[in-house]
């Protein structure tokens, strides 16, 4: 049910110390909207069992949906929080011809439900599970909320990225809204400027919303407290599935993901450009197997196109079924950890 991949250095360390929670110092959560539903059961097991005895800090690094997941994991009851996210996100529905404002307003309601009364402060105060929300500050035409200008800016981004990802660095900057205790440093060979901002009650909701604010689909977030004035949008623009190294993170990185072929940024989705495998040298990926995906309704994992290609009733029923079926991934992972059959780990290539 679950495929496990590891970089070379990660495999060496696991063969030496075993597949145990203490070998990990970071956790990645990617963009992808409802694709995350395919990891729901696994997420509950990881933060309801695998990491529960944690005594050393674990960096939770997420963009877009991954940031929302990180916000759940850093609350005092991560299983309850991630269950709220799954429940309310999977039941989201929109009227025909929904506007970006309406989708953004819906996201704010979702976030309030996920955080509850004390969740924001719990994330800020957590000394073990250190949240990091990745956000893309958008400069130039992509900062505009005027549709023609934003489209022109995105077309420019797409064209520049096809030639060289480094050419996007004038249009976007990476902002990491993070637990104030964090000392994590992100190294980016593409050259995106990376700025750190400590999470506070004034900026935690705005930074989370910004991390999931998809261009053209939602409104951007302006002038987040603690950060320079400007327009902030979906962290997946730069960090869709990640192509970064965590410089001073001593342990391995655990990365549950929808597939074993991550894409660096949002504009790489249609490209065959691979990530730098050296950035995954100390990473372990947990991936739903093709057999598991084939067994799901429609033979696929959820995605945002389900909103437009399916009726609301069909979509919600399908998504609920996927959430239920992912319990099998948790069972598969638990059996692997108990048996320590390291022959099941495949080398990332």
pLDDT 10s digits, 299-344: 999 999 999 999 999 999 999 999 999 999 999 999 999 999 999 9
pLDDT 10s digits, 244-283: 999 877 899 999 999 999 999 999 999 999 999 999 999 9
- What are the two backbone dihedrals, phi and then psi, of residue 210, each rounded to the nearest 5 degrees? -60, -40
Q: What is the pLDDT of residue 248?
A: 74
Q: Tokens standing for 272?
A: 């065959």
- What are the two backbone dihedrals, phi and then psi, of residue 150, each rounded to the nearest 5 degrees? -65, -40
Q: Which helix (H) or strand (E) holds 246?
A: strand 245-246
| Closest by Cα among 18, 25, 9, 39 to 287 | 39
The answer to whether 279 and 51 are in contact (CB under 8 A) is: no
Q: What is the pLDDT of residue 247?
A: 82
Low-confidence ranges of the chain (pLDDT < 70): none
Euclidean distance between CA atoms 182 and 280, whole angstroms? 21
| Closest by Cα among 182, 183, 153 to 168 | 153
Q: Are strands 58-63 and 129-138 parallel, antiparallel or unpaired?
A: parallel
Q: What is the pLDDT of residue 44?
A: 98
DSSP code string of 107-155: HHHHHHHHHTTTHHHHHHH-SSEEEEEEEEEE-GGGG--SHHHHHHHHH
CA distances from 70 to 37, 157, 227, 308, 331 (A): 14, 28, 20, 28, 22
CATH number for the domain whose boundaries are 2-343: 3.40.1090
Euclidean distance between CA atoms 4 and 292, whole angstroms? 14
Q: Which residues of 287-320 are buried (b: 16+ CB within 10 A; e: fewer)?
A: bbeeebbeebeeeebbeeebbeebeeeebbebbb
Q: What is the pLDDT of residue 92?
A: 93
Q: What is the pLDDT of residue 349?
A: 81
Q: Which residues neighbour 263 within 8 Å (Cβ) at sequence distance 6 or greater?
A: 240, 241, 269, 271, 273, 275
Euclidean distance between CA atoms 32 and 337, whole angstroms? 27
Q: What is the pLDDT of residue 108?
A: 96
């Amino acid at each position: 049910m679950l495929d496990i991949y590891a970089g070379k250095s990660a495999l060496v360390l696991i063969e030496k110390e075993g597949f145990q929670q203490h070998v990990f110092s970071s956790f990645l959560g990617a963009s992808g909207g409802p694709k995350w539903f395919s990891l729901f059961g696994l997420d509950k097991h990881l933060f309801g069992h695998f990491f529960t005895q944690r005594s050393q800090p674990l960096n939770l690094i997420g963009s877009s949906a991954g940031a929302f997941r990180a916000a759940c994991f850093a609350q005092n009851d991560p299983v309850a929080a991630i269950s709220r996210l799954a429940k309310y996100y999977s039941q989201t529905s929109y009227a025909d011809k929904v506007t970006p404002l309406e989708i953004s307003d819906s996201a704010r309601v979702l976030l309030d439900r996920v955080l509850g009364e004390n969740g924001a402060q719990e994330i800020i105060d957590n000394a073990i599970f250190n949240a990091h929300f990745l956000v893309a500050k958008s400069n130039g035409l992509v900062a505009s909320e005027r549709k023609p200008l934003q489209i022109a800016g995105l077309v420019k981004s797409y064209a520049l990225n096809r030639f060289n990802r480094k050419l996007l660095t004038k249009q976007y900057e990476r902002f990491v809204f993070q637990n104030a205790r964090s000392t994590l440093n992100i190294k980016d060979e593409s050259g995106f400027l990376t700025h750190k901002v400590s999470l506070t009650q004034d900026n935690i909701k705005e930074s989370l919303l910004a991390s999931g604010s998809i261009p053209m689909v939602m409104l951007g977030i302006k002038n987040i407290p603690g950060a320079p004035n400007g327009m902030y949008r979906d962290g997946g623009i730069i960090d869709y599935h990640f192509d970064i190294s965590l410089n001073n993170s001593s342990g391995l990185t655990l990365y549950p993901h929808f597939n074993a072929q991550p894409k660096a940024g949002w504009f790489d989705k249609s490209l065959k450009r691979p990530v730098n495998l050296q950035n995954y040298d100390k990473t372990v990926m947990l991936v739903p197997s093709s057999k598991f995906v084939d067994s799901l309704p429609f033979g696929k994992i959820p995605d945002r196109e389900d909103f437009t290609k399916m009726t609301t009733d069909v979509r919600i029923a399908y998504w609920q079924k996927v959430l239920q079926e992912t319990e099998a991934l948790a069972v598969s992972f638990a059996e692997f950890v108990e048996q320590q059959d390291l022959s099941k780990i495949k080398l990332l290539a």
